[in-house]
A and B are shown apart, each in its own frame.
Chain A
Amino acid sequence: METADVVIVGGGVIGTSIAYRLAGNRKVVLIEKGEIGAETSGSCDKAIFLQSKKPGFPIKLAQESRMVYENLEEELGMNIEFQKNGGMIVIENESHLDFMRKFVKQQNKADINVKLVDQKEALAFQPCLSPGIVGATYSTVDAEVNPLLLTRAFAEAAKRKGLIIRRHTEVTGIVTKDSRVIAVQTNDGRIETELVINAAGPFAPKIAEMVGIGLPIIPRRGVILISEKVKPIVHGNILCSQYIAAKHLSNNTDVPSYGIGLSLGQTESGNLLIGGSREFKGYDKAVEPKILSAVAMHARRIAPSLEPVRIIRAMVGFRPFTSDGLPIISEVPHLKGFIIAAGHEGDGIALAPITGLLVASLVNKDLKYKDFLDQLQLDRFNASHASPKQG
C-alpha cells in the first residue's frame, strides 16, 4: 500500500513551489499528468510585473512574493535568469493618457515606484519602440525570470528534500470517507493520504469536481509568439496600456479583438517572447492563424524594430481566470484534507513564490499569513459555488 502525507496535484510552477515548501519533514508526492511545467507554466511570458497590480491587497500580495524572489536563486541553488531590469507600459494613444496618469498617481500612493515618462524618454530607454507612442510608465521594481527554469528549480530543490514526482500520471478520483479525504486514485495506482492539494491551475475545476466542488476558475487561452534569437533589443519587459485598461477598467468598451495586449520580453539566449491574446475558448488549443497574425501586427505597431524578425514558434496556454483576479488558496468547507491553490491567471509566475509559503502556512496551521489567506478564501465567491453538491 502506498501512502503519503501530502499529495499535490499539478506539476506547474504553483505545484512545484508548494512541493518545495512542504517536502522535508513529510512524505510529499506530486502527480503530474504530463511533464513538469509543460502546460500553463511553460507557455507564458517571463515578466514579474508589480506596477500593473491593483492597489490594496493585490499589490501587497505581489510585493510579498517579489521579496521572496530576491534570494530565491540562491535558495534553490539554480540559475533561474532572475533579472531586475524594470518594466515599461507603453501608452499608444492619447485616450489612455489620462487614465494612465491617474493610474500612476494611485500606484505611487500604494508605495509602488512607478513614473510617467514621455515619448522621448521611453524611446531612449527602449529604442525598439515606435516614435508614434505618446509615452510610457516605467518602474524599476518590475523584474523578470525564466518560467521554465523557475519551475524546474522548484522541482529539483524539492526533490533534494525528498519529493517524489509521478510524471505522466493522471488523477482519476479522490476517495473520501466521513467528509475527509482518505486517498487519491490515479491511473497508476492508489495513494493513501489525508491531504490533497489541488494545484492543477486551469484544470483545477476538473479535480475539484471529483469531490463535488465547483470551482469558479475558467481557462483563459493565451498565445505567445517566439522569435528567432536576436541581439538584445528589449530591456526588461514591455506591456501596453491596452492591457492595463482591460485589467482595471471594468467599463472599458474599447476591447481589442481576441483580447490582444502587448507583452514583450527577451530571454537570455536572445529569443523574443511576443504576447498575447486573452480568450475564453474552453480547453480548445487550436488557435486560428488570424489570431497569431493579430498578435504579431499589434506588437509590430508598437515596436517596429520587430518587423524583420522571424517568428519560429507559437505557444498556447490556459490561464486559470477568476472573476476578481486573485487566486484561491483555501481549504474547502465540509471536506477535510482538500486544499485549493489555483486561479492565478496571468500572475502565476509573479505569485508562485508566495503561494508555496501560503500553502505551507495553511498546512502547518501557524497563522503566519492569516491576513493573506483570509482574502484568498474560496467562499469569497458565490456560496452556491463553494458548497459541495448533495448526494
Chain B
Amino acid sequence: MLMKYDLVVIGAGPAGMGAAIIAASHGARVALVDENPVPGGKLRGQIYKEPKSGWWIGEKIARNMENKIKQLGVPCFLECEVWGIYPKWKVMLNNGEQLESDFVLIATGAAEKAIPIPGWTKPGVMAIGAAQVLANIQRVKPGNRVAIIGLDVLSLTIAYDLKMAGVDVVGIYLPPLNAFSSDKSNPLKMIAYLSSLSHLAPNPMLKLLGKIGQKESVQKLGVNYYPPFGMRVWGIPLHLRKAVVEITGNDIVEEIEIATVDRNGQLGRKQEKRISVDCVCISGGLLPLVELASAAGCECVHIEELGGLIPLYNDQLETTQSGVFVAGNSTGIEGAKVAMAQGELVGTVISDQIGLVKDGPELIKKAKEKVSLERKNAVIKFHPGLENGREKLERLSRISEVNHY
C-alpha cells in the first residue's frame, strides 16, 4: 500500500517528534515511524538534576510531545522498521507499507560502541544504555549487584540512575586494553577526562566528579598514587587502576575477575578475589546511526569529536541528498535538548520549503538560535572536543556545497 505525505520522520525521539510537531502544526502532512512500541526514544529514560529548575524528567517531556503528536493527528507507525529509502522519496516499512513523501527526516539517534571482553556474550552483560532503559523506562532492575566497565559521562550518569533505582553498583572499572577499548583502558587519559568534566558545570552530579579529577592527589601526584581501593562517588567505588579482565558464570553472569593496570593500562597481576555480580554494564561510548542516510545515498564524513561517521549536512540540517534531513544524535552525539531544537529547525525549514509559513527566514533564524542556545546551556557534553568537531563539519559542508553547485 502506498501513502503520500509531505514529511516522513524516521525515529520518534526528541529530534523526530520535535520536527513532526512543528511541521504538522504548520499544516504539513507528517508521518512518524519508530521501531519501539511507544514514542520517545532514549529521552524517556533520561533524568538529571538541573542547577535551578531541579529534576529534568525525560519521560514527562516525551509524554507531552506524544500527546501533541496525537492532537495534531500525525499517524504513527510504531513497531515498524524502515528497510530502505528510495528516490524520491519512498520509505519502505517491514510491514509492507510504502510511505511516499517529498521530505524525509532521519532521526535515528545513536547506538553504543561495543568493547568486547572475555565472557561478554553471557546473559547479564549489557550495554550501559540498556541498563538505563530497563531501570528508568521499564522499571525493572538490570541486576541486583551491577559492575560498570568504562568511564564516561553516560556511564557516570547511569551509575547514579541505578543507585536511585535501588541497585547495588559494586564499582566502575576500566575495560582491559584491546583494539576496541582505546583511551578507555588508559588510567592517565581517564584522569585527564575526569578533570575535563569540571567544565560541565552546572550539572551538580558531574561537577563533583570534575572536582575529583582536579584534586591534587589525583592530578599532580599522578595516577600511581590513585588509591588502589578507588574513590567513592555517591558511594560508588570508582576504580581507575583496575580493569575487568573476564566475566564468568555458568550460563549467566556470576562473577567478574579483576586485574590491576599500570598508568598506561597495561595489565598487571590478576587479583585473587573475584567479585560476585549478576549484571555487568559496558560503556564504550555512543555512535551515530547512519545506515539509513548512507543507504539513501547521503555522503558521510568521519569526525571523531561528533562520535564517528556522520552524514554531511548544511546549516539547515539537509544532507547531500536534497529533501533528506538529519537531526538529533545521527548528526553527532549531543544531549536531548539540542536534538529537540534541531528537530524543530528541520520542521521549520521544511514547512518553509513547502510554502506553509509566511515569515520563513525569520522563523528559521529563531530556530537556529534555539539550537545554539541549547548547545551553550547543555549540562552534558559527550566529547570534550565537541566544538572542534562542529567546526570541522561546517568546513566540510562548505567544501561540499562548492563542489555540488
Residues of A within 8 A of B (CB): 286, 288-289
Contacts and interface: CB of A to CB of B under 8 A. Distances in A.
Contacts of A289: 84, 86, 90, 92
8 contacts: A286-B86, A286-B87, A286-B297, A288-B86, A289-B84, A289-B86, A289-B90, A289-B92
A288 B297 CA distance: 13
Interface string B65-97: 000000000000000000010110010100000
Contacts of B86: 286, 288-289
Contacts of B90: 289
Interface of B: 84, 86-87, 90, 92, 297
Contacts of B84: 289
B64 to A, nearest CB: 36
Contacts of A288: 86
7 A-B pairs with least C-beta separation: A289-B92, A289-B84, A289-B86, A288-B86, A286-B297, A286-B87, A286-B86
Given A286-B87, A289-B86, A289-B90, 5 more contacts: A286-B86, A286-B297, A288-B86, A289-B84, A289-B92
A290 to B, nearest CB: 10
A289 B92 CA distance: 9
A28 B346 CA distance: 51
A286 B92 CA distance: 15
Nearest to B98: A289
A34 B405 CA distance: 26
Contacts of A286: 86-87, 297
A289 B97 CA distance: 12
A309 B310 CA distance: 31
Nearest to A311: B83
A297 to B, nearest CB: 13
A63 to B, nearest CB: 41
Nearest to A285: B297
A289 B100 CA distance: 14
B2 to A, nearest CB: 12
A286 B90 CA distance: 13
Nearest to B90: A289
A221 to B, nearest CB: 16
Nearest to B291: A313
A75 to B, nearest CB: 28
A288 B86 CA distance: 7
B85 to A, nearest CB: 10
Contacts of B87: 286
A167 to B, nearest CB: 15
Nearest to A312: B83
Most buried by A among B84, B87, B90, B297: B84
A288 B90 CA distance: 11
Quick one: which of B86, B87, B90, B92 has the most chain A CB within 10 A? B86
A288 B87 CA distance: 9
Contacts of B297: 286
A32 B355 CA distance: 47
A288 B98 CA distance: 13
A289 B87 CA distance: 11
A289 B296 CA distance: 12
A289 B297 CA distance: 15
A284 to B, nearest CB: 11
Nearest to B94: A310
A289 to B, nearest CB: 6
Nearest to A314: B84
A286 B85 CA distance: 11
B156 to A, nearest CB: 34
A286 B297 CA distance: 9
Contacts of B92: 289
B302 to A, nearest CB: 12
Nearest to A310: B94
A288 B92 CA distance: 11
A286 B84 CA distance: 11
Nearest to A290: B86
A286 B86 CA distance: 8
A286 B87 CA distance: 9
A20 B228 CA distance: 52
A34 B84 CA distance: 24
B53 to A, nearest CB: 44
A29 to B, nearest CB: 26
Nearest to B296: A286
A35 to B, nearest CB: 14
A51 B297 CA distance: 39
A247 B297 CA distance: 33
A232 to B, nearest CB: 21
A289 B82 CA distance: 12
B83 to A, nearest CB: 8
B402 to A, nearest CB: 19
A233 to B, nearest CB: 23
A90 B100 CA distance: 39
B101 to A, nearest CB: 16
A193 B125 CA distance: 55
A370 to B, nearest CB: 47
